[in-house]
Structure formats: structure tokens, C-alpha cells
Amino acid sequence: MADCYSGNMSVVLATGSKMTRMACWTHARRKVYEHQESDPQVSALPLALMNQLYDIERRATHKSDQERGELRAKESRRILDRLGEYLEGPVAKSVLPASKLGGAFNYIRNHWEALNVFVNDGALPIDNNQVDTAVLQPARRRVRAELRKGK
């Protein structure tokens, strides 16, 4: 799973690979959230739908992978379908593609397949927050230590 940074996109999966390209919903949601003020009415529904996906994930935290997969198939799939329809519909398409909100919508459209992988397997995460946190913690500790030394 990656944040769709162009450098990550160059990874080519070999034929028969057991790896699946996934994209992170936190990154997608953040892009819309950061630019919602440019058009609050157009961004309200996508943000609400993405928040519903995370509500389902919170409810599934202590479920088995199979139970989580069943819940996603029943509830998350419906939300993703609605979000996809909205992003391909006239309201979202009326946002200028060169605008920041238009860019956020295009990011989701361009990575739609990779963003939807999680819904097919209860063992897969919706985002890579745990990995990001684990990777960034040592760097944050180092920065804090350097700041303390500078005082």
C-alpha cells in the first residue's frame, strides 16, 4: 500500500506476483479535506461518505478478518459505489480539474481501483496509517531530541 506518490508508481509487479497494489484512503480523504473550503457544498458528500467508511472500520476493529470482510461487502461496498457515482456525476465533474478540489477528486478517480482493494479482503487495511506512524516515529524522536539540545 502506498500514497500514490509518483515514485511508488514505478514499481512493476511481476506476472503471477502475490502482491496487490493498494492505495491509502487517509491520503485520499486528506486531499479532499484540505481543500473543502474552496467548495464546501461539493466536498460535503464525499467527505461524509469517506467518514462512513472509517466508521465501518472502527466497528470492525475487533472482528475477525472474515467478519470484517463480510461487513465491508455488505456496507463499505455500497458506500464506495455511491462515492464512485458521485465522483463521476455532474456535480463533482463541474469542479475545475485544475483547482485543488478538482485535483483531489482526480486523485481519487485515478487511483480508484487501488483504493477499493481493501473492500475485498477483511485482512487488508483501509489505510497505511500504522506503517506511516511506525516509520515516522524515529524521525520525530530525533527531531525532538535535536530541538531539546538547541534550547
All residues at 6 or more sequence positions from 90 whose CB lies less than 8 Å from its CB, including other chains: none
Q: What's the grid cell of residue 97?
A: 480539474
Which residue do the cell numbers 485520499 mark? 28
Cα gap 81→138, rounded to integer Å: 39
Q: Which residues pair with 2 in a beta bridge?
A: 23
pLDDT digits (tens, 9 = 90+) for 90-142: 999 999 999 999 999 999 999 999 999 999 999 999 998 665 555 556 666 67
Q: What percent of the chain has pLDDT over 90?
A: 68
Contact at 8 Å (CB) between 87 and 109?
Answer: yes
Contact at 8 Å (CB) between 129 and 136?
Answer: no
Please indicate, yes or no, whether the overall pTM of this predicted structure exceeds 0.95.
no
68 — pLDDT class (breaks 50, 70, 90): very high
